[in-house]
Amino acid sequence: MKKIVLALTALCLMVSCKPTTTEPTTPENVVSGLITKDVTWYSDTIYEMVGKVVVEEGATLTIQSGTLIKARDGQGSLSTALVIAQGGKIEAMGTSENPIIFTSIYDTGDNLDQTDQGLWGGIVILGYAPISANTLIAHIEGIPADDTFGAYGGNNPQDNSGLLKYVSIRHAGALLGDGNELNGLTLGGVGSETFIDNIEVVGNLDDGIECFGGDVTITNALVWAQGDDAFDIDQAFAGVFDNFISIEGPDSDHALEIDGPEGNSQADFTMLNGTLISLDTSEIHFRDKASGYVEFMGTANIVADPGTGVIVEYLTEGADISVFNWTLAAKKGAL
């Protein structure tokens, strides 16, 4: 079986401020920098990401089911993240028996838990679908402004950035600056032909999953013990979350933070079959001009700014929790 080894660019990485007594694992394959042609990551290899790994336009990163990807630490512009740039694709096809796991190099399998946050950056997918910002093309938060691969947005609602299925993203959300962290999964202008299903985000320092515009449908999504919001929607997201769970930790902020458009265009979001699990009562904030529909089971304090148009329905039965039996949350008894 042929394996493609990517060159390691010289990077000066800062050491995480989080103390640890566990030494990083020694990987078989270290990856960094730009992916400019089709590459496959194989399940019999442990991959270690260093700095930004960027799938450029015209290239596809294929990840086999059961593949383990570990990320080095590093703060600020040196934080490690996987970025699927506009025109690039990811084909990450895990299964419930063999999910694809993104985690920290300090993760030995049982030494970290949901309270270990911000040990690396996260996953960023950027497409050409419409966003409601002050410009047609914007630059995603969490990526330094001088990195051109941070562009997202356009006029193609059906844009296709690939596939994520049975993927667990753990211990991410590295700090870029004061109040500026990466999300576990960031979706910027991601189109409806992109397939995202069975996603778990655990112990992220900032938001679990955040959508900036776009038209993608995300099914079976679980966020556990995030430092900020579980699900965050911005810039007139016109897509759908179907079967979603927020499990708050002691430091979590909102289960849902829903923002309206920044520009003139408007779109309605949809969130179906949700379950909100909290130590007390979940918090939901609908911000100025947010518009859409959300349904969930659980108790929540809801704050709605002036000008919102969100319909809320309370369910007696929420998400199908049984579909998440493959997750770390299920393994650790959070469900």
Output 297 or 175, whichever has higher pLDDT: 297
Q: Is residue 13 part of a domain?
A: no
What's at 155, amino acid-wise? N
pLDDT by residue (tens digit) across 289-303? 999 999 999 999 999
Q: Is residue 137 part of a domain?
A: yes
As separate numbers, helices (DSSP H) first and strands (DSSP E) second, the chain gives 1, 26
Q: In angstroms, rounded to a whole number, what is the distance separating the alpha carbons of residues 107 and 22?
A: 8
Burial class (CB in 10 A: 0-12, 13-18, 19+), 156: middle
pLDDT by residue (tens digit) across 4-61? 333 333 333 333 334 343 444 445 699 999 999 999 999 999 999 999 999 999 999 9
Q: How confident is the model at residue 263 (pLDDT cuts 50, 70, 90)?
A: confident
Q: Is residue 1 part of a domain?
A: no
- Tell me how far CA of residue 78 lies from CA of 15, 24, 52, 232, in angstroms: 10, 18, 8, 25
Q: In angstroms, rounded to a whole number, what is the distance separating the alpha carbons of residues 294 and 310?
A: 7
Q: Is residue 22 part of a domain?
A: no
The string of DSSP codes covering 112-145 is: --TT---SS-EEEEE-SS---SSSSSEE-TTS-T
Closest of 69, 123, 67, 65 to residue 94, by C-alpha? 65
Q: Is residue 7 part of a domain?
A: no
Say if strands 81-84 and 138-139 run parallel, antiparallel, or are unpaired. unpaired
Residues 330 and 324 sit within 8 Å (Cβ to Cβ):
yes
Contacts of 182 (CB under 8 A, 6+ apart): 79, 81, 121, 122, 124, 142, 172, 173, 174, 176, 206
Give the domain range for residue 288: 29-331
Number of folded domains in the chain? 1
pLDDT by residue (tens digit) across 55-110? 999 999 999 999 999 999 877 778 899 999 999 999 999 999 999 999 999 999 99
Q: Is residue 3 part of a domain?
A: no
Q: In angstroms, rounded to a whole number, what is the distance separating the alpha carbons of residues 267 and 130?
A: 10
Mean pLDDT of 210-230: 98
Closest of 247, 223, 17 to residue 122, by C-alpha? 223
Q: Is residue 4 part of a domain?
A: no
Mean pLDDT of 310-326: 98
pLDDT of residue 179: 55
pLDDT by residue (tens digit) across 121-144? 999 999 999 999 989 999 998 888
pLDDT by residue (tens digit) across 197-210? 999 999 999 999 99
pTM of the entire predicted model: 0.91
Average pLDDT, the chain: 91
Q: Is residue 294 part of a domain?
A: yes
- Percent of the chain scoring above 90 in pLDDT: 81
